[in-house]
Amino acid sequence: MHDHSHPKMRLRRRFIKRVFCTLVVFGLSFYISILLFGNFKGPQIIHLTSLSRCPACFGVSVCPELYSNQILLDFSKWSYVFNAKNIFYGLTRTNRKVVLKKLAHNWEFDEFDSKICKTWNLSQDCNPNQLLNVTNVDAKILDIVNLNLSWPGEEPRKGLVLCPYSYSLYDLLNPVFYPKRNHKAELLNIWTMLSLNPEPIILQVIPKSKGWPVPAYGGVCGRLEVVAYEGETLASLNDVTWYKKLKYAQKILKAAMDFTFKHDRFRFYLMDWSLDNIVVNDNDVVTFVDLEDVVIVDKNILPKRDLPDWYKRYGREQLGPGFTFSIENLCKHHLSDHNLWAACYILAGDDKPYLYPIPSEANETKPHLYRLLEDCLRNSDDRFKTFTKLQHVIDDLLDSKLGSNVIR
């Protein structure tokens, strides 16, 4: 009996020690959060902006509003204590909800900062302000674009890809970023965004104010982006009728066409189509909220010899199960059906298809809905024609109000 009691006592002591250590770690984390964020009442946005890292930051356009308390953090959620995604929520003085995004994990910022001095041939302990004295910022910016384009493999890769030639970047940016007063600082902001997360660039190039299905852009301050809160994710809206889902699907299909055709110079192929990245508000407006990974194709270039198939349409081939694609092929053709296939994939693909199961009354009325969805996924011969037919069928179903009482 005595021999068996010692192992049990040791196990009990170890368990107690682990519980104690866990409580201590939790307590310290909570205490540190209190020190950083105050008493969960006052506006402590200063701790989120990292403004001292400018000009190696996203910009300063919304700093006056943040520092004059026109936007207050919403501390009603515990996500402020342990927030791995660096996404926060706030309210304006007029009670409009906003989202504050740091657009990178803390370790990504640390890694970026650790390389800045070496990247710009500055002293090892350089100050970010010294970047205002560097030269060849334009070349560094184009280097990032070229690196993203030449990155080996299909996926994943980080950030914006602009193709087929990197020199199109300034035609993409000019309408938004030029002319401005502090040219060098702005170029460094662009370099930082391209290095960390190009979303603030995308939101200004294709703004919500011109009908694009993206969040309304509020501005940036330091390394913090402010956008309008546009609603709940489709992944979280489980208790809606199939008719509602069909209405959202209609708008997802339209967005796929807009990203492909709407801009007069560029096509925007989204690389991260997911129900977690699509939100909807009370007015059933659908918005795409994660624009970090985008392939932008300049459709108006004059192709060189390295693009023999430029004027051919690229139809997505079967590259494997799940959401797969070839950036190389997207960049070698003036037009691709990538967005169309991606929209069909989240509606009817093999990973929690949003429109399945289709209600029996819809199948009886429009039996070709299922066939068109499957053809959109499987058939690359003319996905554009299939996609247009699918849009018409969904329009007809919405007009007939089918599935308005069925929750799927």
pLDDT digits (tens, 9 = 90+) for 291-317: 999 999 999 999 999 999 999 999 877
Question: What pLDDT shows up at residue 87?
Answer: 92
Task: State residue 183's pLDDT score.
Answer: 87
What pLDDT, on a 0 to 100 scale, did the predictor assign at position 47?
84
**Total length of the chain:** 408
Contact assessment for residue 314 and residue 335, using Cβ atoms and an 8 Å cutoff = yes
CB 136 within 8 A of CB 120: no
Write down the pLDDT at residue 23: 45
Domains and CATH numbers, the chain: 31-135+169-229 (no CATH), 232-296+334-400 (1.10.510.10)
Give me the residues paired with residue 178 across strands.
none
Strands 335-336 and 224-228: unpaired
pLDDT of residue 298: 97
Tell me what pLDDT residue 334 has.
Answer: 96
- Inter-residue contact 259 to 270 (CB < 8 Å): yes
Low-confidence ranges of the chain (pLDDT < 70): 1-43, 76-84, 151-158, 178-182, 318-322, 380, 402-408
The whole-number pLDDT of residue 284 equals 95
DSSP letter (8 states) at residue 317: P
For residue 228, the model assigns a pLDDT of 97
pTM of the model: 0.85
> For residue 61, what are its two tokens?
């356009």
Whether residue 160 contacts residue 201, with contact meaning beta carbons closer than 8 Å, is answered with: yes
pLDDT at site 321: 60
Q: What pLDDT, on a 0 to 100 scale, did the predictor assign at position 208?
A: 97
**From the centroid of its chain, how far is CA 303?**
30
